[in-house]
Chain A
Amino acid sequence: MYVAVKGGEQAIGNAHAWLAEERRGDPAVAELGIAQIREQLAQAVNRVMAEGSLYDPDLAALAIKQARGDLIEAIFLLRAYRTTLPRFGASRPVDTADMACDRRISATFKDVPGGQVLGPTFDYTHRLLDFKLAAEGEVPPAPERDPATGPVPHVTGFLNREGLIEEEPGVDTIPPDLTREPLEMPAGRPLRLQSLSRADEGFVLSMAYSTQRGYARNHAFVGELRIGAVAVEMDVPELGFAIEIGEITLTECETVNQFTGSKSEPPQFTRGYGLVFGQTERKAISMALVDRALRWEELGEDFEGAPAQDAEFVLSHADNIQATGFLEHIKLPHYVDFQAELELVRKLRREAEEVRSSALMGGLASHDGQEAAE
């Protein structure tokens, strides 16, 4: 006798218990602390903060621990938490010219005022597995110098003095916020930048890479890449001035892109822009390239049909939380729809079979007729 399956509730409870056990791993091995993740897996923390749209290294570290190192899952945890937080207001725009730079490089000039600062980068490390780290990771302190103080002007500003690069005047309009309003097409640049800044790193990287390979190539030079801390300030209406509420680390990338001019614009360099939480330079550079590709319309360029030019395509598919949810939902039962498809396919096959056999019968009949006539 057939008995319908029951007990979903218990199955879910058991699955969660097993998951918790697996997350902990072998209890004979010391448990990871949040501080360890925050300090030693900082790049994972940065990515989770950037794509989770929440600057909180401790919560990001917690999410990474809870997600067993699955960064998209950790981003999801942070996003779901973020949504429940009340919104007190918006900060003033951060001033990256006042950044305390840990790293600052320009590919367009041999040297720049303030100097090229490599900072803590993987760039020139030889990617050789360091077996010493397997035993212990204690390191001698790195050499230090006094930090440079004062503003660090942007490299693109130097080009601007000659009028060689497009102006990007500041505006006072409040940018839209896709976490509070449904995404609407066509999307202006502020909305596109917001979307790219929290977009999946892998997606933005691949989109940027596609532009380098000729799908809407935009000849990007890294005018400047800078990483460091900036102050976050908020206007307090009651006080009548802004107060500093904290400091965050940002990665900013400005690309200088060749531009031969168009019907509406003179020949000059154009810009792509990337700004991401934390030390996330792969993402920031990618973002700048994709930003530039998406600007074809406002610069009067041709739409080449390249994926990275297509704002609706890029913005609709850049969010890994949306993507992973919808992708993985096909694991859920779909047997009702499948049943409907089964019935349809069976019916179509039955009818096709009938048509074939009647054609065959007809063919035989006419064959017989031919024979008779012969």
Chain B
Amino acid sequence: MSGCMRQEPDGARADYNFAYLDEQTKRMIRRAILKGLAIPGYQVPFASREMPMPYGWGTGGVQVSAAVMVPEDRFKVIDQGADDTTNAVSIRAFFERTAGVATTTRTREASVIQTRHRIPEEPLREGQILVYQVPIPEPLRFLEPRESETRKLHALEDYGLMHVKLYEDIARHGHIATAYDYPVRVEARYVMDPSPIPKFDTPKLADCPAIQLFGAGREQRIHALPPYTRVVPLDFEDHPFEASKPDHPCGLCGATDSYLDEVIVDDAGGRIFVCSDTDHCEARRDSGHVGEDTA
């Protein structure tokens, strides 16, 4: 069989197939990706493999990235919007070792971006691929734990449960109490889980020039959004969807339109707000933007 990886008994890997996965596994994932693109928002089952990193740590994203990657790619990995969070570093190193691809922290230069919990601030462009790591791909899962049931609900296009949940939120809190992982409707058909991105990022899913692929390894599902797909957050006429973020400028670059992390900076509980997208923040600072907390 072509493309099998050998491991030496002493633990050193003798060689890898390109991007780690064997070719048969890649073909299986590639077929699932194509069906996912053909049926936007529908969760395609795939025989997720055991990866050398734990389930829940991006195995779905890693398998999707491995299946789409070519040697000429420039690969970027972010976790929480940052390139230097430990798991992002670990995944980037994995592909440097197993695929030999060039990596970058710059959104603009990347051709494949694997992400956990954020969509970059810089608008994506045609030719880019955004790969999401997805923990629970089923938007109805916390309303109905059984896969056998939720699959029927999707088949019947029965999203009453979700509307009831959102409506109960409004009745209780005056708002839809979902701050991240906000459910969306794709092309007026499937309700889709966008992975736990903050509500702030939800509008970026729609009409995006890039291909968006979602991989859930443990749950063995892939879903996808082709470019320029209609993606609408679920809401009510009298309670329209509203993207929100902390009402501050970035303390480092002064950006007022980026998603912010709240950082506790001293023992007295002093806080500053900084861009969660580290590349966005750095690029702004490099071009001379200054925030209040840099002095």
Check A-B contact in the complex, CB < 8 A: yes
Neighbouring B residues of A108 by C-beta, 8 Å? none
Identity of the chain B residue whose Cβ is nearest the Cβ of A351 in the assembled complex: B174
B137 → chain A closest CB, angstroms: 12
Q: Are A312 and B50 closer than 8 Å at their CB atoms?
A: no
Which one, B51-59, B124-132, B204-212, is touching chain A?
B51-59
CB distance B22 to A11 under 8 Å?
Answer: no
Residues of A within 8 A of B93 (CB): 9, 12
Chain A contributes a number of interface residues (CB within 8 A of B) equal to 56
Contact B180 A183 (CB under 8 A): no
A339 pairs with B49, CB closer than 8 A: no
Q: Which of A76-84, A206-214, A357-365 contacts B (4 or more CB under 8 A)?
A: A76-84
Query: Which residue from B56, B87, B260 sits with its C-beta under 8 Å from A339?
Result: B260
Assuming A85-B4, A329-B54, what are 6 further A-B pairs, CB within 8 angstroms? Answer: A62-B9, A83-B49, A181-B47, A329-B56, A339-B261, A348-B175
B45 adjacent to A337 (CB under 8 Å): no
Identity of the chain B residue whose Cβ is nearest the Cβ of A81 in the assembled complex: B7
Determine if A12 and B245 form an interchain contact, defined as CB atoms under 8 angstroms apart: no
A21 within 8 A of B: no
Q: Which residue of B lies closest to A316 (CB)?
A: B147
Contacts A86-B1, A180-B47; is A343 near B179 (CB within 8 Å)? yes
Is chain B's interface secondary structure helix, strand, loop, or mixed overall? Answer: loop
- Cα A180 to Cα B252 with chains together (Å): 49
- Contacting pair A2 B261 (CB below 8 A): no
Nearest 6 pairs of A and B residues by beta carbon:
A325-B55, A329-B56, A325-B54, A340-B179, A182-B45, A326-B56
Cα distance, A179 to B28, chains bound together (Å): 13
A82 touches B50 (CB 8 A): yes
Q: Which residues of A contact B1 (CB under 8 A)?
A: 86
Can you pick out 29 interface pairs between chain A and chain B where the beta carbons lie within 8 Å of each other? A5-B84, A8-B84, A8-B86, A8-B88, A12-B86, A59-B9, A62-B11, A79-B50, A83-B51, A184-B45, A185-B146, A324-B54, A325-B218, A326-B218, A329-B55, A332-B87, A336-B81, A336-B196, A339-B246, A339-B261, A340-B244, A341-B180, A343-B179, A343-B244, A344-B175, A344-B177, A348-B173, A348-B174, A351-B174
A11 nearest in chain B by CB position: B86
A11 to B85, CA, bound (A): 10
Chain B residues bordering chain A, tally (CB within 8 A): 73
Q: Which residues of A contact B111 (CB under 8 A)?
A: none
Complex interface: chain B residues within 8 A of A80 (CB): 50-52
Q: How far is the CA of A340 from the CA of B251 in the complex (A)?
A: 18
By the criterion CB–CB under 8 Å, are B263 and A2 in contact?
A: yes
- Other-chain contact of A9, B6, B7, B89, B259 (Cβ < 8 Å): B89
Q: Mark B271-295, 1 if CB is under 8 A from A, else 0.
A: 0101010100100000000000111
Give every chain B residue within 8 A of A351 (Cβ-Cβ): 174
Assuming the contacts A7-B84, A326-B56, asked whether A182 and B246 have C-beta atoms less than 8 A apart, the reply is no
Considering the complex, give the chain A residue whose CB is closest to the CB of B1.
A86
Q: Given contacts A336-B117, A340-B180, are A322 and B45 in contact (CB under 8 A)?
A: no
A321 at the interface (CB under 8 A from B): yes
Whether A335 touches B80, Cβ cut-off 8 Å, given contacts A182-B220, A343-B179, is yes
User: Interface readout for A328-357 with B: 1 if CB under 8 Å, 0 if not?
Assistant: 110011111101111110011001000000
A336 contact from B51, B86, B259, B281, Cβ within 8 A:
B259
> Does B193 lie at the interface of the complex (its beta carbon under 8 Å from any beta carbon of A)?
no
Q: How far is the CB of B113 from chain A (nearest CB, A)?
A: 16
CB neighbours (8 Å) of B86 from chain A are 8, 11-12
Residues of B within 8 A of A182 (CB): 45-48, 220-221
CB-based contact B135/A326 at 8 Å: yes
Instruction: With both chains docked as a complex, state the minimum distance between the C-beta of B142 and any C-beta of chain A, in angstroms.
Output: 14
Distance between Cα atoms of A5 and B62 in the complex (Å): 25
- Whether A2 lies near B274 (C-beta < 8 A) is yes
Find residues 169-191 in chain B having any chain A CB closer than 8 Å to their own CB: 173-175, 177, 179-181
Give CA–CA (A11, B86) in the complex, Å: 8
Name the interface residues of A3-21: CB closer than 8 Å to any CB of B. Answer: 4-9, 11-12
| A84 in contact with B7 (CB, 8 Å) | yes
Contact of B118 with A by CB under 8 A: yes
User: Restricting to B96-150, which residues have a CB under 8 Å from any CB of A?
Assistant: 116-118, 135, 146-148
